[in-house]
Amino acid sequence: MNKVKIGLIGLGTVGSGVVKVLKDYPEVEIKKIAVKNINKKRNIENLDTSILTTDPFEIVNDKDIDIVVEVIGGTTPAFELLKTAINNGKHIVTANKELLAKNGQELFNLANEKNTAILYEAAIAGGIPIIMPIKTTLAGNKINKIEAILNGTTNYILTKMEEDGVSYEEVLKEAQALGYAETDPTGDVEGYDSAYKIATLATIALNRRVDINKIYREGITQISANDMKFAKELGYKIKLIAQALLKENNKVDVRVHPMLVPLKDCLASINGVTNSVVLEGFPVGRVMMAGPGAGEFPTASSVVGDILAIVRSLGAKDILPLMKCHHEINAEQIDIKETENKYYISITAMNTPGVIGCIGEICGKHHISLASVLQKGIEEGNTAQIVIITEKSIEANVLDAIDELKNNKNIVKINNLIRVME
């Protein structure tokens, strides 16, 4: 049997998993692995160190290599490496969500030109099958909505905050100690990671290229223990939701921000580091996938699935159309200020008669109806904690109302503004 030759760039957590899993597949052979440090001790049985190299360009320029598997992350040098690999006619399997979000268009165009495949199941929602189902089983659908939890670190933090009633800062420290959060957690907690993923997921699902720079993004660092408590009382959980909507006017609304998710919604029950993707479309209706969003083996599962899909297609005259990423149209992305949402607003106000009436009046002036108002007891300094859930309102109006509330003498502080899932 003529083995398909793999070049692996990166031998960290995911790369190690790929090596361990691929050893059971005699149809493929890892010919070379690019690493930073050849002498590093690695937790891989019987690793043939003679195939290690510190020069990843050796891999993308190796005439024998059929498939380049890139699991180093980041755009430099990954972008140059993959362009070279594609120009050399190689198929690509990547777990690099940042690269796809920032340079996906150029890579996919080049791959189409060179008739090579770029598969990237592992880049979005780790072990959960989502990209290939969209390209195959769901290919007959017009998908118009994605709601997803795409970042395990933030979901772990929010779950712990909710379960233990503790602050963001406290849980973050614990998550860092456990290795669930990085020393610099910005990429996760500020929503960048989720934004990269939803950019690519929305591109393939909505069938138009989404611009990462036009995605509204807000992280979880402003969520307080109080927000968690109030949300729970109101029948919600707070989750960092990545969302993409294809509107009836064919405009696209893509964003990442925390949301109050109603308990009856299946995303409310996605806890810890689990990821989940909900798709809505016609004719299928609503489908949901959930599973491990990261980790050595779940991610390796998706990388190996992609490798095998390419291996099994190599006999075909052309690499199959299902291997290609549709992106002919650029999405017309709307600004968050134009969107309509329900809102949770947490306010510290003076405990004076009529303060709720005053809040209601200001909201009404800005065309915002209140669905519910909770006064959460008297606090120090004769202030009251007031929590509002609005009806669906235009974001620009809500921001105007918030500005006016901030300047009102009865209002001490706007503690938080969080969107609410319907």
Contact flag: residue 1 with its own copies (CB under 8 A)? no
DSSP state of 321: G
Binding segment toward its own copies, per CB under 8 A, in 100-108, 136-144, 182-190, 396-404? 136-144
- Looking at residue 20, the DSSP 8-state letter turns out to be H
How many chain residues bind its own copies (CB under 8 A)? 53
Q: Least distance in Å: CB of 219 to its own copies?
A: 27
Asked if 269 interacts with its own copies (CB under 8 A), we say yes
Dihedral of CA atoms 248, 254, 258, 261 in degrees, nearest 10, equals 30
Span near its own copies by CB under 8 A; candidates 231-239, 283-291, 341-349, 411-419: 283-291
Segment near its own copies (CB under 8 A); pick from 78-86, 129-137, 166-174, 390-398: 129-137
Nearest approach, Cβ of residue 290 and its own copies (Å): 5
Residues 288-327 that bind its own copies (CB under 8 A): 288-292, 295-298, 300-302, 304-309, 312-313, 315-318, 320-322
Span from 108-116, 138-146, 368-376, 384-392 in contact with its own copies (CB under 8 A): 138-146
Alpha-carbon gap, residue 254 to 214, rounded angstroms: 8
For this structure, is 197 an active site residue?
Answer: yes
Q: Does 140 bind its own copies (CB under 8 A)?
A: yes
Least distance in angstroms from the C-beta of 243 to its own copies: 19
Q: Which of 102, 135, 160, 197 is catalytic?
A: 197
CB of 271 to its own copies, least distance (A): 9
Residue 1, strand partner residues: none
Of 121, 159, 128, the C-alpha closest to 291 is 128
CA distance 236 to 418: 12
Least Å distance, CB 419 to its own copies, is: 23
With contact defined as beta carbons under 8 Å apart, do 208 and 327 qualify?
yes
In whole angstroms, how close is the CB of 118 to its own copies at the nearest point?
15
Residue number with CB closer to its own copies (286 or 406): 286
What's the N-to-C CA distance of the chain in angstroms? Answer: 55
Q: Per CB under 8 A, does 159 bind its own copies?
A: no
DSSP per residue, 88-155: TT-EEEE--HHHHHHHHHHHHHHHHHHT--EE-GGGTTTTS--HHHHHTTTTT-EEEEEEEE--HHHH
Site string for its own copies, 74-113 (x = CB under 8 A): ----------------------------------------
CA angle 143, 147, 150 (to 5 degrees): 120
C-alpha closest to that of 374 among 223, 222, 226, 233 = 233
Whole-angstrom Cα distance, residue 209 to residue 192? 18
Position 44 contacts its own copies (CB under 8 A): no
25 near its own copies (CB under 8 A): yes
Q: How far is CA 38 from CA 23, 30, 52, 279, in A?
A: 20, 16, 6, 43
Note the residues at the interface with its own copies (CB under 8 A): 17, 20-22, 25, 121, 127-129, 131-133, 136-141, 266, 269, 282-292, 295-298, 300-302, 304-309, 312-313, 315-318, 320-322
Catalytic (active-site) positions:
197
